[in-house]
Structure 1
Amino acid sequence: MIKEEKMEELNNETVVSSENVENPTGYRKKIELTDEQKKKEGVSVSSIVGKVLMYVFLFIFVVWTLFPLFVGVIASLISKRDFLSGEVGAKLFPMRRTKYDLIDNYREIFFGASSKTAFLTEFGNKTEFSNVPFSFVFTCILVLPPTLLGLLTSAMSAFAFSKLQFKGKNWMFGLLLSTMMLPGALSLAPSFSIFRQILKFGTLWMAFPLFVPGMFGAATCVFFLRQYFTGIPTDLIEAGKLDGMGYYKMFFKIVVPLSSAALIAQGILGFVGGYNDYFGPRLYLEGSCNFKTVQLILVTIRTKSDSDQNVPKVFAACMVALIPTLLLYFYAQRFFVEGIATSGMKI
């Protein structure tokens, strides 16, 4: 009996082995499928829990980030009377009768007319425009030259530090990086004293210190662009030399087209930094001339509105000041993310 049972087991093994020999891939697929199914069954629960927690965290973060913006938009649409009434419903939901009433605060910010009648009857005749539209133009005049020219000089410096070979390159780059360790407020007072002696205080000439130094570049911008330029293959630069290109032609024909994302990202950072600057214009322009940037106009509106407690007008001015930076970011956000993420990576 024992011998017969052993013979049957051997026959079964030979049948299985013969099936495996005839169709080995099918047998392996069965084993692989079962292993993958086991893995999927084990990972599915943990992956679902992880995704749920991730989306919950992202939802909370989005609400936390956008809630102040939502409050600012709603507060800019309500009237001063509704805001001072103390009713929560009046503050959260603007109680206006017509569509013209919803933009009273914005109309007053731009045109100085606080009511629909004054706007329709006096616009074009004797309604005085506020300083907000002109402050946008004046801010762009102060911000765009250092943003564009400063980006150009920083990119050229980064190209020299990353691709050119010359004596003292490393210690010069280290000296440049050491300036990043010094706070900007440390040199602000000495710079103001120097420019006040050179330029005529109380005139528009005092606006030159706000944009002329920025045209020579920034150490932070040079650092980031150098990290990006190191990812450009040196063979392209050598090929340009063989074709008879000079350094300027290699920079504009090879490096700049390959680094558009990084240049746009640094341009956005430079523009936003200059646009949001308050302390510099306050130091050089406040009390010296009638020209004011957007940030100074916001402070002026806030101080005047605090006297009559017109807080919705302040929110409307903040929403207006936020428009240029939002449009710039939405237009160039993919370049911004790409330029920051790929710094130091091989292209």
Structure 2
Amino acid sequence: MKVLKQISLALVAALVAIPALAQTQAEAITAFNKGYEEAQAGNYDAAIEAYQQALTIANQLGPEGEEIKGKAENQIPVVYFRKAAGVYQNFQKNRSIENLDATIEAFKEVVEVGNKFNDQRVVPRAKGNIPRLYYSKSVLLYGNDQLEAAMEAVDEAINRNSNYATAYYHKAKIIKKQGDTDGDGIIDEKIDEAMQWYDRAIQVAETVGDDDLAETATEAAHDELLAVGTRASESGDVEYAIEMLTRALNYNDESANVYYRLAEAHNKASNPEEAIDNANQALEYETGGRTDKAKIYFELGFAHQTLGNKSTACDAFTNALYGPFKSPAEHKMEFELKCDSTAE
């Protein structure tokens, strides 16, 4: 009788447990369905809470809750990603640093939660978005002249994506702006540092196949060195001018403007042979008309005049009789060289 009584008590306990288990499964399913409905309605925080509730109940169920557990774990990172996308849309409507920081944090949360559940769907996308968001932050700060903060943001973008060619290019621009101490658009300091990052941008862009960015960075590097060299020549620092202009040819060895400025600087430095070589190169690559070529012919004439090549100098100055160089060329021909005639 004692054994029978024990069996009867065990049977009663099992029968009581069955409806309790069924009720718990029902609660897990209800919570999961609520999470789905809230997510579809765009109520992401409520959806996350419901999915988390479903997951908690499923964990309590043990093996019976594995299916619901798996489904909840699949959905939670997705909802976090959709939530982050919503935060990004808010930033697009109001492009403030505050909204951008909120977007960055939202995608970082996606990565954190996704890693917890071993997600391979939204985590890579979120990781890819974060460097781009830091780059956007740097651009906004750069536009506000907050250069130190802009540098911190672009460095974070580069740290998270070492193949981010656009970020390297932007870093070079920040350094240029930091080095433009008088605000005239020409870098005064940090020229070597700026060139280092332009070079890095070009290298990475070529590696990843971003031809447009590689071309943009190459042109920018050329233009920086041309501007620095031109200013140095105009201020009388011809040795430095020649150094900078020669470096510019590394980025465009068919630059008519660089060869012209080199001819000008070599004339100032009393290097007429080098001036002639560079002037001839400038004429080879100059695609403009007579007025565009007049300045080059003027430097060519000046160099030949220095060497005592009167006839050749007069011919060159004849071709310089256009635009702003007409009057100085006429003066050279009439009063210094005593050329036989000047063009009408």
Question: What TM-score results when the alignment is normalised by the length of structure 1?
Answer: 0.22
Larger Rg: 2
